[in-house]
Amino acid sequence: MENNIKQTKSAGGVVINKAELVLVVNQKGQSWSLPKGHIDEGESTLDAAKREIYEESGINQLELLADLGNYQRPKIALDGGDDTSEQKTIFMFLFKTNQSLLSPIDPENPEARWVSKNEVAELLTHHKDKEFFLSIINKIKE
C-alpha cells in the first residue's frame, strides 16, 4: 500500500505584547491556534512566520526573541480531529511586539485575540499545539 500522506511545512510564532499577553488566532471559525501557515516557494521559515502572523492578526512590528524549533502533527480536520492525509512540520519562533490592535487580513482567519499565557493551552484546539506551547511556556517572561 502506498503512503499517500502529504508532507507540508508551516511556520509561525508565539507573539507576546507589552502586557505579556499571547496572540492566538481562529481558523475558519472552527479552531484556535498560534498564528502559522504554509511556507511559500523560496521563502525562509522566519519570513513565512512573519507573513503569516501579519495575515492572521495584522501585527507587522515583530522583534525576534528566539527560534523555538519545530514539531509535527496532522492537519486539523473539519470536526476538530486529525486529518491524517496531511502531516505538517511546524517551525515556530518567539516574537515580541509593541502593537496591540488586532486586525486580521486573511478571511480564513477571522478572529485574533490576546490571552494570558496561562490560558493559551486550554484555548488551542489541537493537542500537539497544546503540548508544544506547554513545552516552551517557560521561555515567556512574566
Domain spans of the chain, in order of start: 6-139
Which candidate, 32, 10, 26, places its Cα nearest to that of 124? 32
What SS3 state is found at 85? strand
134/121 Cα distance (integer angstroms): 7
| pTM metric for this prediction | 0.92
**Cβ neighbours of residue 66 under 8 Å, at least 6 residues apart?**
93, 94, 139
pLDDT of residue 1: 45
- Residue 77 burial (CB count, 10 A): 14
25-80: per-residue pLDDT in tens? 998 888 899 999 999 999 999 999 999 999 999 999 999 999 999 999 988 777 76
Which candidate, 10, 114, 122, places its Cα nearest to that of 71? 10
Domain 6-139, what fold?
Nucleoside Triphosphate Pyrophosphohydrolase (3.90.79)
88-102: per-residue pLDDT in tens? 999 999 999 999 999
